[in-house]
Amino acid sequence: MKPSLSRRLLPLCALLTICVLSCKKNESSASTTSQQTTETLLMNATNVAADATNLQSMDMEDVMGSDSAADCRTITYDTLKTVYPHVKTVDYGTGCMGPDGVMRKGKRIITVYADALTASPGTLISVTTFEDFYVDDINIKGMVQSYIDSTSTADVPVIKNVAEKILSTSDGDSKTISSVNYWKKIEGVNTLNRHDDVFEITGSASGNETLDGATEMQWSSQINSEHHVIKPVSCDFRTKGAIDIQLHIITGGSSNFTEYLDYGDGTCDNKATLSINGGTAKEITLPLYFWPLSL
């Protein structure tokens, strides 16, 4: 007896079933990998956008900070501080853990052209460059220029901070940051105690991330026009305000995301809330070590 048609088709059907299941498994695996890649890129870009504002705090410390060497850094001058221009070198040696828990090494070299307390609006105060400078094993190169902003007054001083930086790792991955921000002193103007100073920050930043020699992500950020960022000198973190972030992923096609990063109600901590594409906000701890939101 000839085998029935259905019996003859069974091996083929089984093979097709295996193929279909295998394809679905591969598609699922590829989809999972793609989502993981996207989440990693989003996490990295969010950290860079947040780091851009954190790095500005170091830049402002170069301009407005004291010369106290109570920590492990060494501060030297090439001439008297009252002589302009003069060069200020902040040397973190082979490794210096700051009060903010960040490890730094290398040098920040600041050429100071004018006294920030007495210079007129529009004056270039300082230019900062870097020599073998690392923050938590991230090498930082570039230049920072600080000016007395045209809106600055004796009662409400405003510093304009213009930065171009490249952040790179030992494996060759890199990130760029271009930023222009304005630091308005809103508290502590009439005292000599820097620790009671509070700044209101506005401005924007942009950059990209390169992995394995290819640009993977482009990003831009703007401090929210209705919720300016607040940074007390006495706190290592931003305590209030929000940032609008735009992310463009190039890897695996082209996709766009928007984020809203809110620093909170004034509490001095590294907590914030983050939402993506208008979704529900979730509390996070900065920096991110995993992607916390659903896509």
Q: Are 217 and 251 in contact (CB under 8 A)?
A: yes
Whether 24 is in a domain gets the answer no
Per-residue burial over 177-216, b = 16 or more CB atoms within 10 Å of its CB, e = otherwise: bbbebbbbbeebeeeeeeeebbbbbbbebbbbbbbeeeeb
Query: What is the pLDDT averaged over residues 92-108?
Result: 89
pLDDT tens, residue by residue, 38-76:
888 888 888 888 877 777 787 887 777 666 655 788 999
Whether 209 is in a domain gets the answer yes
Query: What is the pLDDT averaged over residues 129-134?
Result: 97
pLDDT at 19: 38
Question: If 0-12 CB within 10 Å is exposed, 13-18 middle and 19+ buried, where does residue 21 land?
Answer: exposed
Query: What is the pLDDT averaged over residues 263-270?
Result: 94
Q: Which residue has the higher pLDDT, 122 or 68?
A: 122
Whether 67 is in a domain gets the answer yes
Which pLDDT band, with edges at 50, 70 and 90, does 119 fall under? very high
pLDDT at residue 34 tops 70: no
Whether 187 is in a domain gets the answer yes
pLDDT at 2: 35
Whether 257 is in a domain gets the answer yes
pLDDT at residue 270 tops 80: yes
Number of domains forming the structure of the chain: 1
pLDDT at 67: 64
Which pLDDT band, with edges at 50, 70 and 90, does 11 fall under? very low
pLDDT at 193: 82
Provide the residue range defining the domain that includes 195: 43-285
Q: Are 114 and 124 in contact (CB under 8 A)?
A: yes
Which pLDDT band, with edges at 50, 70 and 90, does 241 fall under? very high
Whether 25 is in a domain gets the answer no
Query: What is the pLDDT averaged over residues 144-151?
Result: 96
Whether 174 is in a domain gets the answer yes
In this structure, of 7-11, 174-178, 235-239, the range with the lowest mean pLDDT score is 7-11
Whether 35 is in a domain gets the answer no
Which pLDDT band, with edges at 50, 70 and 90, does 150 fall under? very high
pLDDT at 15: 32
Q: What percent of the chain has pLDDT over 70?
A: 85
End-to-end alpha carbon distance in the chain? 58
pLDDT tens, residue by residue, 211-224:
777 778 899 999 99
For the chain, the average pLDDT equals 84
